[in-house]
Amino acid sequence: MNFKYKSLPRKDGPPRKTPTIPVTFIGPSDSIDIVAILDSGADISVLPLEVGEQLGLDLTKNRSPCGGIGGEVETAEDHVRVKIVQGHENYTFDIPVKVVLDPKSSIPVLIGREGFFEEFEITFDERRERITLKRVAPR
Amino acid sequence: MPTNENYLGFMTADLRQYIGEWVAICNGKVISHNPSFKKAYIEAKRQCPTKRPLLTRVPDQDTMIF
């Protein structure tokens, strides 16, 4: 599967070419089609509070602070089913996610490594502004 | 699953006016936008009741790295 980088505008500065992929998150309450940022620097996937609530994820358990360049935020960890489709390729599997509990957080949806990157051989081709996901056999 | 039409709509959309907002795309076009995910999502479902909107947040700052 190949996905082109998307040029996303920024408030201060030029637009940035960003590696994004379309996925469906399937939770206990709802399933939502979302364009997520594929973030090889993120240990784990991250959802904003409103998305976690809409999916019906359990936000009461596995709470912990989580740190990054933007500082430390309180999160709740759960699992969500993720589906990714392109052409005849169609993959569905569960990944862990951290839901940022601060309703004022401006975090976008990030797909991090745990649970996702081991499902594929992933290439970030900066020159061609393209991500390639090649399915690999589960370990 | 995200329709190809909605994904192509996202890839070709000029999102400059939506910085810091959630954007919902249906039938390949932006049909709602709001700083609140839920408001953008509910409005998209209202406008496109039989289809699945594609949502994304346009970042307003460099993305936090976990």
Domain ranges of chain A: 2-135
Tokens of A58: 């359990």
Asked if the model's pLDDT at residue A125 lies above 70, the reply is yes
Nearest to A51 by CA among A30, A72, A67, A66: A30
With CA atoms as reference, report the closest residue to A19 among A94, A105, A110, A136. Answer: A110
Does residue B8 belong to the interface with chain A, where contact is any CB pair within 8 Å? no
Residue A28 touches chain B, beta carbons under 8 Å: no
The mean pLDDT of A22-32, rounded to a whole number, is 97
The answer to whether A108 and A16 are in contact (CB under 8 A) is no
Give percent of chain B above pLDDT 70.
86
Cα end-to-end span (Å), chain B: 27
The yes-or-no verdict on residue B66 having pLDDT over 50 is no
| pLDDT band at residue A139 using 50, 70 and 90 as cut-offs | low
Residue B23's Cα: distance from chain center in Å? Answer: 3
Check A22 against B54: CB less than 8 A apart.
Answer: yes
Task: Find the CB nearest B55 among A33, A41, A68.
Answer: A33
Mean pLDDT of A13-24: 91
pTM of the model: 0.92
Chain A nearest-CA residue for B52: A33
Tell me whether residues A10 and B19 touch, CB distance under 8 A: yes
The tally of CA atoms less than 13 A away on the side-chain side of residue A85 is 12
What band does A73 get if pLDDT is binned at 50, 70 and 90?
A: confident
Burial class, A8, CB count within 10 angstroms (exposed 0-12 / middle 13-18 / buried 19+): buried
Residues of B in contact with A50 (CB under 8 A): 36-38
* pLDDT at A66 (0 to 100): 80
The CATH topology of domain A2-135 is Cathepsin D, subunit A; domain 1 (2.40.70)
Domain ranges in chain B? 4-57
A87 and chain B: CB distance < 8 Å anywhere?
A: no
